[in-house]
Structures are given as C-alpha cells and as structure tokens.
Amino acid sequence: GQQLNQSPQSMFIQEGEDVSMNCTSSSIFNTWLWYKQDPGEGPVLLIALYKAGELTSNGRLTAQFGITRKDSFLNISASIPSDVGIYFCAGQTGANNLFFGTGTRLTVIP
C-alpha cells in the first residue's frame, strides 16, 4: 500500500512553543486528514483538507494540503500540556481507502 512518512518521529517542546510537523507520500491523495491519538483511545479527527493548496484552521491548529497533493503540514501554535499525544496524517484516494502515516509523538514540557 501507499507509504506515508511523517517527520519528525518525535518532538519535545516547551509549553507555549509552536510545533510543525509534516507528512509526505510518493502517491497523490484526494483528501488529507490529521488525527490525534491519546493512550488507550482511538484516533480523533482534527482537521480535514479536500483541495490542493487549501489552508484550514481549527483553533490553535492549522493544516495545509500541499500543492503537489503528495504532502501535508500541521502546525500547532502556543502548545499546552494537553497537546501531548501521537499525531497521524492520513491520505484518502478512493471512497473507502484511508492510508495512515507513521505518526509524530509530541511531548510538551510544562
């Protein structure tokens, strides 16, 4: 299946700092999704992107759908302790085929 590479693999940041992470693929996707997963829970959708170049915000989170349709970026501004978790990108091609990235583990130091 498609391979989605996320970077960085893990991040340690101070509370209040901004965070940037990205996701790249060798394949083109029609939709990019960003999820957060906390321990013992399933992923929760943060942002969905539907068009190349699209920039969408959800509170302190901003994500962009890359122009080439092979990448996407997620930024978190002014991080807080509850931002801790694993962030996954996911790309959708057909109607029911969703491919997840390898994840970025975020640790926020108070």
Partner 1 sequence: ETGVTQSPTHLIKTRGQQVTLRCSSQSGHNTVSWYQQALGQGPQFIFQYYREEENGRGNFPPRFSGLQFPNYSSELNVNALELDDSALYLCASSRTGALDTQYFGPGTRLTVL
* Residues near partner 1, by CB under 8 A: 1, 4, 31, 33, 40-45, 48, 50, 88, 90, 92, 94-103
Element housing 97 (H / E)? none
Cα angle 31, 3, 53 (rounded to 5 degrees) comes to 30
- When the beta carbons of 54 and 77 are compared against partner 1, the nearer one is 54
- When the beta carbons of 49 and 108 are compared against partner 1, the nearer one is 49
**2-25 core/surface letters (b: 16 or more CB in 10 A; e: else):** eebebeeeebeeeeeeebebbbbb
Q: How far is the CB of 42 from partner 1 (least distance, A)?
A: 3
- When the beta carbons of 70 and 105 are compared against partner 1, the nearer one is 105
Q: How far is the CB of 6 from partner 1 (least distance, A)?
A: 8
